[in-house]
A and B are shown apart, each in its own frame.
Chain A
Amino acid sequence: MAALVRKTLREYRRALIGWTVGMCAFFGMYISIWASMKDDPQTLSAQALAKYPGALRDLMGGLADVGTGVGFLQTVAYQLLGPMLFVMAASVLGNRAIAVPEEAGTLELTVTLPIDRRRLVLDRWIGLALGVLVVAVVTFAVIAAAASGAGMGVPFGRLLAAHTGLFLLVMFFGTLAVCAGAVTGRRQVGLAVVGVWAVAGYVVETLGRSVDAIAWLRWLSPFHYYLDGRPLYQGWPVGDYLVLLGATAVLLMTAVLSFERRDVGV
């Protein structure tokens, strides 16, 4: 493994451990609630949920079947909170690839090492990808264990499909943060771009189902390619995932090419 990749992982280590522990606790807790709720049909019955306004239900992914194991897991883990937490983690780390050290001034010495600029961006990104992969694998193991322990009845293959989608979605936003930093060198830009695109993207994808005026915008939302195929119910939406993968590759390419051309730390 390249020295800069190893160094990147060392820099990320504490944050990675923190996010992993936090997310595992979050998922573990919500899934364990299911165990106590599934025998009490009152809480999550269709009548109870009908009281929520339609738009709110849309935002939460419909809530139509939250009384079932798969519906509950989709709502608490894979619909909104899980992706948002994980996207936040990846974009914070992605921002630390270029923009944060550039503003702090520590990038100056790194760019004068015998590592060319393309390699530098690539190594930082590989460090990010490996770190995010570790978090994804550990959280997947925890969710799979907790879900089967709680008797949710979600097939392992579907769970793997959903979690892979989550990983791809998160890598898209993490790479977006790397790219914003590589293009501008400003940490605020990275956080703003990811924040706006993630929140707007999610809202457009969920509300856009019933609001025709913004329905076309769903094509621009990374969440569309993550949620629309309903992998937890229907398995691998291969085409959608390839779109996420392709978009991430384009962002990475943009990052590599633009960082190579510009002045650092001015």
Chain B
Amino acid sequence: MTAVVETEGLTKFYGTRRGLEDLTLAIQPGEVFGYLGPNGAGKTTTIRLLLDVIRPTSGRATVLGADTRDTRVRARIGYLPGELALEGREKARDYLEFLAGVRGGVSRGRIDELAERLDADVSVRMSELSKGNKQKVGLIQAFMHEPELLVLDEPTSGLDPLVQQEFLAMVREVRTSGRTVLMSSHVLAEVEHVADRVGIVRSGRLVAVEDVAALRERAVRHVEFHFDAPVPKEAFEGLPGVRDLVVEGTSLRCTIDGRPDALIKAAARFTVVHMVSAEPDLEEIFLTYYSEEEARHGRAGA
């Protein structure tokens, strides 16, 4: 299986300032890859290198099997810039039709269909588009030609929650049809529900690539059980992954690292009347991960 996006030692310096250093990454077909990091970490630099807007200082990158310099594959890519600029007296629809034409055309009614879905007004001049509408026009142009690869830089910025949901649904549809998405964000919460994997970039370096399912498995979960009769504490002590165990009469509270399997099986020996399990906060693990990495780097550097 050939990767849709593949980079090797990809490095970009702006003069002496580091934009991105030594990025080696492969994104597989049908995958939704979340690219995470704080502002200025190198997300946009990576994306602009993949789209050949800027040129690498060293290293190489291929997109859809071709060198990034090859303009022929561009029609099969949908790109949403991080700072989308739309200006001029041209109507949004005319601009969309221009972009569609250059990329080889889109099916009739496709622009209207997407505009309706995102509740975007494409009949106004570009200079009169509101911030939210600009972002919607940007999404329409990225999705309209049903590209094999979508590269979206901070796609949800400026969108209201309802439209964000619609956008996430569109991303899921893209994945279902076997196409690939690379989307950046500075918060995990925005991508965790659609991304299969996340890459964490910080100060121009990729510090981790994590499977979201694995991340979720590693997540710390707060759990509460209520039984019909008091339970002995000993029955739950020493279970793998169970911490902070508190048993008070008929109720049990604890946190679990990773799989809840052992706890569930232990609880099943009693009669459970009620159970509460909070959604794991990936952001929390994520930040823990971050600070550990940071501390290690700090020590290594000292």
- Shortest distance from the beta carbon of A14 to any chain B beta carbon, whole Å: 7
Which of B14, B53, B55, B81 gathers most chain A CB within 10 Å?
A: B53
| Residue from B14, B74, B81, B98 in contact with A114 in the complex, judged by beta carbons closer than 8 Å | B74
Q: Given A112-B74, A112-B79, A114-B102, are A106 and B86 neighbors across the interface (CB < 8 Å)?
A: yes
Residues in chain B near residue A116, CB distance under 8 A:
71
Number of interface residues of B (CB under 8 A): 30
- Shortest distance from the beta carbon of B53 to any chain A beta carbon, whole Å: 5
Does B102 lie within 8 Å of A106, measured CB to CB? no
A112 CA to B74 CA, complexed, in Å: 7
| Residue from B48, B81, B103 in contact with A113 in the complex, judged by beta carbons closer than 8 Å | B103
Q: Which of B87-95, B274-282, B292-300 participates in binding chain A?
A: B87-95
Residues in chain A near residue B79, CB distance under 8 A:
109, 112
Q: Given A104-B85, A108-B85, A266-B14, are A113 and B53 neighbors across the interface (CB < 8 Å)?
A: no
| Residue from A7, A114, A262, A266 in contact with B75 in the complex, judged by beta carbons closer than 8 Å | A114
Does B74 lie within 8 Å of A265, measured CB to CB? no
Per-residue CB proximity of A2-38 to B under 8 Å, as 1/0?
0110010011001000000000000000000000000
CB within 8 Å of B: which A239-266 residues: 261-266
A4 CA to B101 CA, complexed, in Å: 10
Does A114 lie within 8 Å of B71, measured CB to CB? yes
Does A105 lie within 8 Å of B83, measured CB to CB? yes
- Shortest distance from the beta carbon of B150 to any chain A beta carbon, whole Å: 12
CB within 8 Å of A: which B49-68 residues: 51-55
The residue of chain B having its C-beta at the shortest distance from the C-beta of A108 within the complex is: B81
- Shortest distance from the beta carbon of B46 to any chain A beta carbon, whole Å: 14
The reply to whether the CB of B193 lies closer than 8 angstroms to some CB of chain A is no
The reply to whether the CB of B108 lies closer than 8 angstroms to some CB of chain A is no
Number of interface residues of A (CB under 8 A): 23
A266 CA to B49 CA, complexed, in Å: 12
Which of A104, A112, A265 gathers most chain B CB within 10 Å?
A: A112
- Shortest distance from the beta carbon of B158 to any chain A beta carbon, whole Å: 15
- Shortest distance from the beta carbon of A8 to any chain B beta carbon, whole Å: 11
| Residue from B53, B71, B77, B84 in contact with A265 in the complex, judged by beta carbons closer than 8 Å | B53
The reply to whether the CB of B285 lies closer than 8 angstroms to some CB of chain A is no
The reply to whether the CB of A199 lies closer than 8 angstroms to some CB of chain B is no
The reply to whether the CB of A145 lies closer than 8 angstroms to some CB of chain B is no
The reply to whether the CB of B141 lies closer than 8 angstroms to some CB of chain A is yes
The reply to whether the CB of A130 lies closer than 8 angstroms to some CB of chain B is no
Q: Given A3-B102, A10-B90, A14-B89, are A109 and B74 neighbors across the interface (CB < 8 Å)?
A: no
The reply to whether the CB of B72 lies closer than 8 angstroms to some CB of chain A is yes
CB within 8 Å of A: which B141-172 residues: 141
Residues in chain B near residue A262, CB distance under 8 A:
55
The reply to whether the CB of A56 lies closer than 8 angstroms to some CB of chain B is no
A242 CA to B60 CA, complexed, in Å: 44
- Shortest distance from the beta carbon of B57 to any chain A beta carbon, whole Å: 10
| Residue from A10, A104, A113, A261 in contact with B102 in the complex, judged by beta carbons closer than 8 Å | A113
- Shortest distance from the beta carbon of B241 to any chain A beta carbon, whole Å: 47
Residues in chain A near residue B101, CB distance under 8 A:
3
- Shortest distance from the beta carbon of A104 to any chain B beta carbon, whole Å: 5
- Shortest distance from the beta carbon of A120 to any chain B beta carbon, whole Å: 10
A264 CA to B81 CA, complexed, in Å: 13
| Residue from B71, B77, B87 in contact with A115 in the complex, judged by beta carbons closer than 8 Å | B71
CB within 8 Å of A: which B206-239 residues: none
| Residue from A11, A106, A115, A263 in contact with B53 in the complex, judged by beta carbons closer than 8 Å | A263
| Residue from B77, B85, B88 in contact with A112 in the complex, judged by beta carbons closer than 8 Å | B77
Residues in chain B near residue A106, CB distance under 8 A:
85-88
The reply to whether the CB of B99 lies closer than 8 angstroms to some CB of chain A is yes
| Residue from A7, A109, A111, A266 in contact with B52 in the complex, judged by beta carbons closer than 8 Å | A111
The residue of chain B having its C-beta at the shortest distance from the C-beta of A111 within the complex is: B53
Residues in chain B near residue A266, CB distance under 8 A:
14, 54
| Residue from A3, A4, A105, A264 in contact with B54 in the complex, judged by beta carbons closer than 8 Å | A264
CB within 8 Å of B: which A78-127 residues: 104-106, 108-109, 111-116
Does A108 lie within 8 Å of B71, measured CB to CB? no
Q: Given A104-B85, A114-B71, A265-B53, are A7 and B98 neighbors across the interface (CB < 8 Å)?
A: yes
Residues in chain A near residue B83, CB distance under 8 A:
105
The residue of chain A having its C-beta at the shortest distance from the C-beta of B81 within the complex is: A108
Q: Given A4-B102, A114-B103, are A104 and B87 neighbors across the interface (CB < 8 Å)?
A: yes
The residue of chain A having its C-beta at the shortest distance from the C-beta of B85 within the complex is: A105
Enumerate chain A interface residues (CB-CB to B < 8 A).
Answer: 3-4, 7, 10-11, 14, 104-106, 108-109, 111-116, 261-266
A4-B102, A7-B98, A266-B14 provided; 8 other pairs, C-beta below 8 A? A3-B98, A109-B81, A109-B99, A112-B52, A114-B103, A115-B71, A263-B53, A265-B53
The contact sample of 16 A-B pairs, CB cut-off 8 A, is: A3-B101, A3-B102, A4-B102, A7-B98, A105-B83, A105-B85, A106-B88, A109-B79, A109-B141, A113-B74, A114-B73, A114-B104, A115-B71, A115-B102, A261-B55, A266-B14
Enumerate chain B interface residues (CB-CB to A < 8 A).
Answer: 14, 48, 51-55, 71-75, 77, 79, 81, 83-90, 98-99, 101-104, 141
Nearest first, the 5 closest Cβ-Cβ pairs linking A and B are A105-B85, A263-B54, A114-B74, A114-B75, A116-B71
